[in-house]
């Protein structure tokens, strides 16, 4: 997806020409494999670092183009969201200090990126899904204005229809309907690449599939989306749905999605995967190319296979086969896409080392893992890891059932150590990176677990949005320090110096656990809800979630006191007593502004509206809670001395 000069598939003649080039590219690759042209006997590694940009309030900062302009570096590029960036690391030979060198390069790139971002009032955060993303951040305005992303959005909407539906069930349930592909911008990853010899591709690719689950279980870092606690690695589900272009008929036939794990083991060659991807997934991008790969190969040249690479870039397997040319030599590599971004560079490198070590450590013990391991079990393990992280239960090689943490500690870490050692990786680096994995599993603290435990610790003291901002700020600070996530302390509340920032806007303060009625409901129902729940206001919404009015305790009392009602007023419909046009605010309204609005209009409740829908309510009770929280946040030294605020 790195090319810019692309077109969609609506020009039939151009689409046919591109398909001819694509098939020629595939035939050329087959010929290169048969002739032994592809580089063999060399192992290299590389990585791509995806990044979130946030502002001073820890909200997404859509400034990636301005940051790139300041960086002026070929190693940085855009991603689909205007608050995303990608840094590409230099490929290096696998051995010796390569992991340490890769970590140092990544730290250096991030330092450059942080400096450029700071000049634009932004900061860089590494996490699978940014906790502070809101629905308002997922509009088409935040799509990076580059042809490839704009084309992707248009094509996906045309193929699937204008609506994308997402349903994820975890500790909470999230169900949303979305109208663009910016949902993909919720997800960032740390994608590692491993170059393999053509003759070993099938066996090593199958191993990559087998170990994807335990590597992911130890790496999970995306448990929150739009304030909902979902999967330990929610990114897996979100990405799959964000670019799902299948029609209803294809869904009914269980046609695989463009983002997926795959359907079977590879038997002989990378060609199997590429053939399946051409047969299953229609071309959505085309690109004019002057190269005829077969003619170039016949002339003794190394073809770029641009059409094949472009199509391959629109199919997002969690382990994706890749073709490339380095220093004039063509090669094959496996791109592991499931590892999330963060929590720290050290954690990411540990995850990469674990993956590399397992491929090398298991290749001799399981040269043909497809004979010992059911593909369905490997795929189910992957989904289980995404859902449950270290709490996942796996069916492992030979049908043995084992907890993820037990498998990692007792079997896989020793194999990874052997694999890295056999590849000539420095022993101190092996201890450092795999030691991080071991401590993370022993202490039972992945990035996802740290987030969920922190959210639970803040649940009673902070509103959802302020807790998410505090969580992101703590993540940013921990990343700056660089200690791995298993050493991070659970976040419990805002510190005294940042207390005011915890309640800056209405979404930080409002109530979202609402009890509502409809206009034609019995007024007595509204009165009963107020009594049962000890509340003084009940919003009225229609069937589509639009605000229709507001019923207050004051209006019910006025109704009952009205002459001639004889106590029968409660039998009226809600629409007869509701205020049909209450004062409203948005989630982004500053809290001080909302308070001033309530004072001027002499109301003690305002509904909160987002995109025409009821998102919450703000009451004087919520504001009193904020005041009590602020008054209680005295400096620790003052509290210790028994001082009074």
Q: In this structure, how many other beta carbons lie within 10 angstroms of the beta carbon of residue 355?
A: 27
Residue 286 has a pLDDT of 85
What six digits make up the tokens of 487?
């050493």
pLDDT tens digits along 42-57: 999 999 999 999 998 8
- ∠ CA(26), CA(28), CA(32), 5° rounding? 115
| 8 A C-beta contact, residue 166 and residue 175 | yes
Residue 180 has a pLDDT of 86
Q: 257: closest CA among 174, 144, 379? A: 379
Q: 497: closest CA among 627, 634, 622? A: 634
* Lowest mean pLDDT segment, chosen from 366-375, 467-476, 607-616: 607-616
- How far is the C-alpha of 75 from the C-alpha of 107, rounded, in Å? 13
What six digits make up the tokens of 323?
């073709």
Burial of 256 (0-12, 13-18, 19+ CB in 10 A): middle
- How far is the C-alpha of 215 from the C-alpha of 394, rounded, in Å? 12
**Confidence class of residue 636 from pLDDT cuts 50, 70 and 90?**
very low
pLDDT tens digits along 619-631: 988 888 777 766 6
**Confidence class of residue 172 from pLDDT cuts 50, 70 and 90?**
very high
Residue range(s) in the chain whose domain bears CATH number 3.10.580.10: 508-630
Residue 642 has a pLDDT of 46
| 8 A C-beta contact, residue 187 and residue 239 | yes
Please, which residues bridge with residue 317 across strands? 260
Residue range(s) in the chain whose domain bears CATH number 3.30.590.20: 12-442
pLDDT for residue 635 is more than 60: no
Q: Determine the average pLDDT of the residues in 491-508.
A: 66
**Confidence class of residue 7 from pLDDT cuts 50, 70 and 90?**
low
SS3 175: strand
pLDDT for residue 59 is more than 80: yes
pLDDT tens digits along 187-227: 999 999 999 999 999 999 999 999 999 999 999 999 999 99
Which one of 3.40.640.10, 3.40.50.300, 3.30.590.20, 3.40.1030.10 gives the CATH number of domain 12-442? 3.30.590.20
- How far is the C-alpha of 414 from the C-alpha of 362, rounded, in Å? 10
- How far is the C-alpha of 593 from the C-alpha of 590, rounded, in Å? 5
Please, which residues bridge with residue 87 across strands? 49, 76
pLDDT for residue 4 is more than 80: no
**Confidence class of residue 583 from pLDDT cuts 50, 70 and 90?**
very high
**Confidence class of residue 511 from pLDDT cuts 50, 70 and 90?**
confident
**Confidence class of residue 174 from pLDDT cuts 50, 70 and 90?**
very high
**Confidence class of residue 645 from pLDDT cuts 50, 70 and 90?**
very low
**Confidence class of residue 136 from pLDDT cuts 50, 70 and 90?**
confident
> Which residue has better confidence, 638 or 276?
276
> Which residue has better confidence, 639 or 274?
274
- How far is the C-alpha of 603 from the C-alpha of 611, rounded, in Å? 23
The alpha carbons of the chain give a radius of gyration, in whole angstroms, of 28
pLDDT for residue 414 is more than 60: yes
> Which residue has better confidence, 288 or 386?
386
- How far is the C-alpha of 227 from the C-alpha of 322, rounded, in Å? 36
pLDDT tens digits along 268-294: 999 999 999 999 888 888 888 788 999
One-character DSSP codes across 16-43: HHHHHHHHHHHHHHHHHHHHT-S--S--
Residue 42 has a pLDDT of 93
- How far is the C-alpha of 575 from the C-alpha of 112, rounded, in Å? 59
**Confidence class of residue 135 from pLDDT cuts 50, 70 and 90?**
confident
Residue 588 has a pLDDT of 83
Q: In this structure, how many other beta carbons lie within 10 angstroms of the beta carbon of residue 189?
A: 24
Residue 161 has a pLDDT of 67
pLDDT for residue 160 is more than 80: no
The percent of residues above 90 in pLDDT, for the chain, comes to 66
Instruction: State the average pLDDT for the chain.
Output: 89
> Which residue has better confidence, 178 or 215?
215
Q: Determine the average pLDDT of the residues in 460-473.
A: 78
> Which residue has better confidence, 249 or 257?
257
pLDDT for residue 644 is more than 50: no
Per-range mean pLDDT, top range of 425-434, 457-466, 576-585, 594-603: 425-434
Strands (E), 170-269: 173-178, 190-196, 224-225, 228-229, 259-260
The percent of residues above 70 in pLDDT, for the chain, comes to 89
pTM > 0.85: no
Q: Determine the average pLDDT of the residues in 219-247.
A: 88
Long-range contacts of 244-248 (CB under 8 A, 24+ apart): 244/160, 244/164, 245/155, 245/156, 245/159, 245/160, 245/284, 246/160, 247/159, 247/160
Burial of 312 (0-12, 13-18, 19+ CB in 10 A): buried
Q: Determine the average pLDDT of the residues in 579-587.
A: 92
What is the CATH superfamily name and number for domain 508-630?
A: CBS-domain (3.10.580.10)
* Lowest mean pLDDT segment, chosen from 289-303, 487-501, 520-534: 487-501
Residue 233 has a pLDDT of 98
SS3 462: coil
- How far is the C-alpha of 354 from the C-alpha of 435, rounded, in Å? 10
Q: Determine the average pLDDT of the residues in 157-177.
A: 82
DSSP state of 617: E
Residue 249 has a pLDDT of 61
């Amino acid at each position: 997806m790195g090319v810019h000069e692309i077109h969609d598939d609506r020009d039939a003649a151009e689409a046919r020409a591109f398909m001819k080039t694509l098939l020629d590219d595939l035939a050329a690759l087959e010929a290169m494999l048969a002739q032994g042209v592809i580089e063999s006997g060399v192992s290299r590694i590389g990585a791509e670092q995806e990044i979130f940009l946030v502002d001073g309030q820890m909200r997404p900062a859509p400034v990636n183009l301005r940051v790139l302009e300041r960086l002026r570096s070929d190693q940085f590029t855009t991603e689909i969201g205007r608050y995303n960036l990608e840094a590409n690391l230099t490929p290096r030979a696998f051995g010796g200090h390569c992991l340490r060198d890769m970590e140092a390069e990544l730290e250096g790139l991030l330092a450059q990126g942080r400096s450029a971002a700071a000049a634009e009032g932004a900061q860089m955060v590494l996490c699978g899904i940014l906790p502070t993303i809101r629905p308002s951040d997922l509009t088409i305005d935040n799509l990076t204005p580059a042809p490839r992303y704009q084309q992707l959005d248009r094509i996906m909407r045309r193929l699937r229809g204008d609506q994308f539906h997402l349903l994820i069930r975890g500790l909470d349930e999230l169900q949303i309907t979305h109208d663009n592909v910016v949902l993909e911008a919720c997800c960032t990853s740390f994608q590692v690449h491993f170059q393999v010899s053509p003759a070993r591709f099938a066996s090593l690719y199958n191993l990559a599939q087998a170990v994807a689950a335990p590597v992911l279980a130890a790496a999970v870092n995306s448990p929150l989306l739009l304030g909902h606690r979902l999967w330990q690695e929610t990114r897996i589900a979100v990405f799959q749905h964000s670019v799902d272009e299948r029609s209803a008929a294809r869904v009914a036939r269980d046609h695989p999605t463009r983002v997926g794990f795959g359907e079977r083991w590879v038997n002989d060659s990378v060609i199997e995967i590429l053939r399946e991807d051409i047969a299953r997934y229609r071309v959505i991008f085309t690109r004019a190319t002057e190269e005829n790969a077969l003619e170039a190969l016949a002339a003794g040249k190394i073809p770029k296979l641009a059409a094949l690479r472009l199509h391959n870039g629109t199919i997002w397997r969690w382990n994706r086969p890749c073709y490339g040319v380095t220093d004039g030599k063509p090669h094959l590599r496996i791109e592991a896409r499931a590892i999330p971004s963060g929590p720290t560079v050290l954690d990411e490198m540990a995850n990469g080392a674990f993956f590399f070590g397992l491929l090398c450590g298991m290749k001799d013990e399981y040269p043909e893992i497809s004979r010992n391991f059911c593909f369905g079990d490997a795929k189910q393990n992957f989904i289980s890891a995404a859902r449950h992280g270290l709490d996942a239960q796996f069916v492992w090689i030979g049908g043995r059932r084992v907890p993820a943490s037990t498998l990692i500690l007792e079997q896989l870490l020793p194999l990874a150590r052997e694999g890295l050692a056999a590849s000539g990786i420095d022993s101190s680096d092996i201890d450092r990176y795999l030691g991080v994995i071991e401590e993370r599993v022993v202490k039972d603290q992945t990035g996802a677990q740290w987030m969920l435990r922190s959210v639970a610790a803040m649940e009673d003291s902070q509103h959802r949005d302020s807790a998410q901002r505090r969580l992101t700020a703590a993540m940013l600070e921990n990343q700056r320090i660089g200690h791995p996530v298993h050493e991070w302390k659970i976040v419990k509340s805002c510190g005294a110096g940042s207390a005011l920032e915890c309640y800056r806007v209405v979404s930080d303060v409002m109530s979202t656990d609402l009890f509502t009625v409809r206009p034609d409901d019995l007024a007595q129902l509204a009165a009963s809800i107020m009594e049962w729940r000890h509340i003084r206001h009940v919003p009225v919404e229609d069937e589509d979630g639009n605000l229709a009015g507001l019923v207050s305790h004051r209006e019910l009392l006025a109704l009952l006191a009205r002459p001639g009602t004889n106590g029968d007023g409660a039998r009226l419909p809600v629409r007869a007593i509701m205020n049909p046009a209450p004062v409203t605010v948005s989630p982004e309204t500053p809290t001080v502004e909302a308070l001033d609005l309530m004072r001027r209009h002499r109301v003690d409740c305002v509904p909160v509206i987002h995109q025409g829908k009821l998102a919450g309510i703000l009451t004087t009770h919520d504001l009193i809670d904020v005041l009590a929280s602020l008054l209680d946040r005295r400096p620790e030294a003052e509290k210790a001395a028994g001082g009074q605020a």
